[in-house]
Amino acid sequence: MTDTPLKDEIRRRISMAGPMPVRQFMMHCLTHPQHGYYMTRDPLGRAGDFITSPEISQVFGELVGLWAASAWHLMAQPDNVRLIELGPGRGTMMLDAMRAAQVVPAFRQAIVLHLVEISPALRERQQQAFAALDVPVMWHQSFDEVPDGPAIVLANEFFDALPVNQAIKQFNGWYERVVELDPDGNLKFGLANETIPLFEQLVPAALRDAPIGTIYEWRGDNLPLAIGRRLAHQGGAALIIDYGYDKTAAGETLQAVSGHGYVDPLDAPGAADLTAHVDFQAFADAAESMGARVFGPIAQATFLRRLGIEKRVETLSALAPSELAAQIDSGVKRLIAEGPKDMGTLFKVMAIANPSLGTIPGFELETR
């Protein structure tokens, strides 16, 4: 059992205010101003808790940059475009993207960069990373703060870090799942006292006949709506890369990771990363309801192959010294590996766009 300052605070809050909904617990764990996981540290990389695609290979960000350049083309090449990244981490993907975008100078000149980042620690890291960049950069606490205008939105492993609600089905209805205290004062999962009113009617059709004990997770934030609305009204496209399920499904996916391994989500609040899978169907439905068009999701391997990742590796490897060439090769192999637990399969890519853009690169076969 681990004690953390946040665990004490959560205990205090529960003893004063009663059981805490899972969503609120996850929110405190990740973004509590003093003790939140992301607020105090850089969790990425080999020495951290997890590693992401852009940290594995430069080719990832480069292809995303070329994708953005072609989206800009389809947008009829506006003189000003807001290139927005949600949760940029160390800024690696954006730096690689900007380098690759040098092949389309007019696109690069049109860019104003907007980074949506809640963590002071990572924001500082990004400030260092972008210090020498020759495009204007602005930081924001939330997506809603980004000024109007045509936009290209990028997000890799961002949405899995947004808090989820959980409900459990019982014989007389659905109950919100909460974190509470056992008699010894330890954190444990439990159920709220009352069923959630009208929830039977609100759950997706696929879950109406779910057996007792089923857990259903959903995100209550309005970001998918906001992205869909923005792109439909002001133009542009978004690329969402994350792990998750294509169709809304039952089951718990909340998980905690520390030092590249799974840990108990209740054990060390604020010291372990908490994530939950992205419900791509719910995301797509929300964006579409605002008038945007959705493509995919497709497997990361498929997307990167269609963007020409293998060719790119050949070109880079031919230019690089042999040790570096081997490193590029093994990084890319990892990104597009297609076993059931490999990144190329687990990670999915979904695009959202203003309908006027037509078919989005990488999704030629996936119009919904």
Q: How many CB atoms lie within 10 A of CB 167?
A: 25
96 part of the interface to ligand SAH, by CB under 6 A? no
Unique residue bearing structure tokens 């389309």: 104
CB of 259 to ligand SAH, least distance (A): 16
Opening angle at CA 154, ends 153 and 159, nearest 5: 110
Q: How many residues bind ligand SAH (CB under 6 A)?
A: 21
Could you tell me the two tokens for 21? Answer: 């909904």
SS3 content of the chain, % helix, strand, coil (to 5): 40, 25, 35
- Rank residues 207 and 351 by Cβ distance to ligand SAH and give the closer one: 351
67 part of the interface to ligand SAH, by CB under 6 A? no
- Rank residues 54 and 296 by Cβ distance to ligand SAH and give the closer one: 54
Residue type (1 letter), 120: P
Specify whether the CB–CB gap between 263 and 145 falls below 8 A: no
CB of 105 to ligand SAH, least distance (A): 26
CB of 186 to ligand SAH, least distance (A): 27
Unique residue bearing structure tokens 């294509």: 246
Side-chain half-sphere of 43: how many Cα atoms within 13 Å? 25
By C-alpha distance, which of 269, 72, 239, 264 is closest to 158?
Answer: 239
- Rank residues 37 and 174 by Cβ distance to ligand SAH and give the closer one: 37
Which one of residues 119, 275, 302, 354 is an interface residue with ligand SAH (CB under 6 A)?
Answer: 119
CB-count exposure of residue 191 (10 Å: 0-12, 13-18, 19+): middle
Opening angle at CA 58, ends 129 and 321, nearest 5: 110
55 part of the interface to ligand SAH, by CB under 6 A? yes
Side-chain half-sphere of 279: how many Cα atoms within 13 Å? 25
122 part of the interface to ligand SAH, by CB under 6 A? yes
- Rank residues 157 and 366 by Cβ distance to ligand SAH and give the closer one: 157
CA 156 vs. chain centroid, Å, equals: 5
117 part of the interface to ligand SAH, by CB under 6 A? yes
Unique residue bearing structure tokens 């990373």: 129
Residues 132-161, interacting with ligand SAH (CB under 6 A):
156-158, 161
What whole-number distance in Å separates Cα of residue 8 and Cα of residue 197? Answer: 32
Which one of residues 19, 65, 89, 269 is an interface residue with ligand SAH (CB under 6 A)?
Answer: 89
- Rank residues 75 and 155 by Cβ distance to ligand SAH and give the closer one: 155
37 part of the interface to ligand SAH, by CB under 6 A? no
CB of 91 to ligand SAH, least distance (A): 8
Could you tell me the two tokens for 150? Answer: 């045509």
Specify whether the CB–CB gap between 72 and 110 falls below 8 A: yes
CB of 12 to ligand SAH, least distance (A): 23
52 part of the interface to ligand SAH, by CB under 6 A? yes
62 part of the interface to ligand SAH, by CB under 6 A? no
CB of 184 to ligand SAH, least distance (A): 32
CB of 354 to ligand SAH, least distance (A): 24
CB of 261 to ligand SAH, least distance (A): 17
CB of 295 to ligand SAH, least distance (A): 20
What whole-number distance in Å separates Cα of residue 232 and Cα of residue 352? Answer: 9
107 part of the interface to ligand SAH, by CB under 6 A? no
88 part of the interface to ligand SAH, by CB under 6 A? yes
What whole-number distance in Å separates Cα of residue 138 and Cα of residue 362? Answer: 29
Binding site for ligand SAH (CB under 6 A): 30-31, 38, 44, 52, 54-55, 87-89, 93, 116-119, 122, 156-158, 161-162
